[in-house]
Amino acid sequence: MNARKELKEIFFETKRLISACEEMGLEPPMLPKGALEFMEKPVLKKPAPPSTQSENRGNVGSEIPAPGTQAIEPSSPQFDSLEDLRTHMGDCRRCDLHNGRKQMVFGEGNPEARLIFVGEGPGVDEDREGRPFVGKSGQLLTRIIENGMGLTRDMVYICNVVKCHPPGNRDPNPDEIKVCLPFLKAQLSIIKPDVICALGRVACQALMEGDFKITRDRGKWRTYHGIPLMPTFHPAYLLRNAAAKRPVWDDVKSIMNKLGLEVTQNG
């Protein structure tokens, strides 16, 4: 057994032990500070990408629209952090979606996440709370992350293609996507995840070039600027089509495999 695999097994065993202690109302065993830090962020820490990798990924944050304009400016600034990007976006009114929103839903999670989930846009619940994926479909996504993957929401990053709620829960239109997409690209450029999971047709088509059909192409690995991208069904679709849960579970297992993580249950 190589050292990486052994370390992973130790981590998962320790994680199970701590969970079991907590469920029984017992104090978890004392662990050294370094071990606790490792436990808290096992899936988040990633090595600095080699320069060739970042070159392959391209300058994905280079199309940020300047404040107050809808123009895509190839020369606009790069962002060192999600906070910088959020500050730059300000009270964004670059597309018409700002008219009907309560608030912008930027995204949330770990800025060093190895895995990013991308949906199409905030729904009514998300618009009200200012957080992505908190409604019924969000609760299903949370169950997939927690029960299926054995992770927590704060170990991954969750966001959408457009950051403002499209009225009537309609799909964002191509113009709105075009204006807002650079912000998602900047988020991906800052976080540099190891895997992107695109949820549903709109997110998949926004991040992939060429012909894409969700029913035909889900479950087949693609890349986005060198980052492996798994297209899968949106959780809202799963709520309407129970039969889609099995293929999504297959996609989840494929993602876990790509990340080198153990699958914790059988779906």
Chain residues that interact with ligand SF4, rule: CB under 6 A: 92-95, 97-98, 104, 162-164, 176, 179-180
Cβ 167 to ligand SF4 shortest distance, Å = 12
C-alpha 228/C-alpha 129 separation (Å) is 30
Cβ 36 to ligand SF4 shortest distance, Å = 37
**89 vs 155, which CB is nearer to ligand SF4?**
89
**97 vs 256, which CB is nearer to ligand SF4?**
97
φ/ψ (deg, to 5) at 28? -65, 155
Find the distance separating the first CA and the last CA of the chain, reported in whole Å.
27
- Do 112 and 44 contact (CB within 8 A), yes or no? yes
**43 vs 177, which CB is nearer to ligand SF4?**
177
**133 vs 233, which CB is nearer to ligand SF4?**
133
C-alpha 252/C-alpha 236 separation (Å) is 16
Show the DSSP H helices in the chain as ranges.
Answer: 3-23, 33-40, 51-57, 82-89, 124-129, 136-143, 174-191, 201-207, 214-217, 235-240, 245-259
**185 vs 222, which CB is nearer to ligand SF4?**
185
Reduced DSSP (H G I as helix, E B as strand, rest coil) percent helix, strand, coil of the chain, to 5: 45, 10, 45
Cβ 201 to ligand SF4 shortest distance, Å = 18
Q: Count of CB atoms within 10 A of residue 41's CB?
A: 15
Cβ 99 to ligand SF4 shortest distance, Å = 9
Cβ 106 to ligand SF4 shortest distance, Å = 8
